[in-house]
Amino acid sequence: MFKITVANQKGGVGKTTSTINLAAAFAQIGKKVLVIDTDPQGSIATLLNIKPKDTLYNFLIEGVKFDTCKVQIRENIDAVLSDKKTEIAEMALVTQPMGRELALANRMEGIDNYDICLVDCPPSLSLLQTNAVIYTRYIVLPISMDSLAIAGASHVQDTFKLLKKYFRVVPSILGVLPTFVDARLIITEQVLSTINEIWGDSTTLILPGIRIDTNLQKANRYHKTIFEYEPKSRAAADYKKAAQALLDFISAKGKDEFLSQTN
């Protein structure tokens, strides 16, 4: 199972929307996907209008079995969802003297019957975000077309330095996902240029951008993925391209390199 955290410390960049629609795109390609929501706002459950009985809190803190906590949210997509109790989970983890940063990795040990796991994170540096990054080792950064989103991405990189220093974990930015792309605006050209300046010469994949599309907002309003609401939209085409680019990139890198996720 290949694991990816979707993170940016700026809100409003499309993290949750991208997590859901990348998962849906992977599922359409035939992959079996697990989604984990670490955001106490419970945005994925809200967006899809799901009220789970057991959540990430029950899984992490109460030790409820994975199979009890997971819910099937779409064909080929299971999820461990969050609600307000996830905030209590964060506080409970803080009180643990040892291993609190490894709680998610420890609870997920042995669960590998999926092709891809996507972990959605809140727009803040938190213990749960640290758990997610240590568990997955790889990150996709959604970056909207404004300079603050670039700054939020830089804060994530600063977090990596701390993880390397204190936990001997070396996270990697697998890909940058431009969101809210509007080619008519000068700011879009400026942000895309900055993205290329920062990551263009690195091993990070600059993914095909997600163009601005009102169908995404409408899909969210009706609790649907973009592929359910308007499969012929440009947003659906963009998320499909981004998902395929990620799969191709992972495949080109080779399985041996990514097996280090489990080491």
- Taking residues 183-188, report their average pLDDT: 94
Q: Give pLDDT tens digits for 12-56.
A: 899 999 999 999 999 999 999 999 999 999 999 999 999 999 999
Q: What is the average per-residue pLDDT within 233-247? A: 97
CA distances from 96 to 60, 99, 103 (A): 12, 7, 10
Q: Which of 172, 77, 69, 66 is nearest to 116 (CA)?
A: 77
**The model's pTM:** 0.92
Q: Identify the pLDDT of residue 76.
A: 97
Q: What is the dihedral of CA 61, 65, 70, 76, to 10 degrees?
A: 140
Q: Percent of the chain beyond pLDDT 70?
A: 92
pLDDT at 192 over 70: yes
Domains and CATH numbers, the chain: 2-256 (3.40.50.300)
- 121-148 pLDDT per residue, tens: 988 778 898 899 999 999 999 999 987 8
Residue 242 pLDDT greater than 50, yes or no: yes
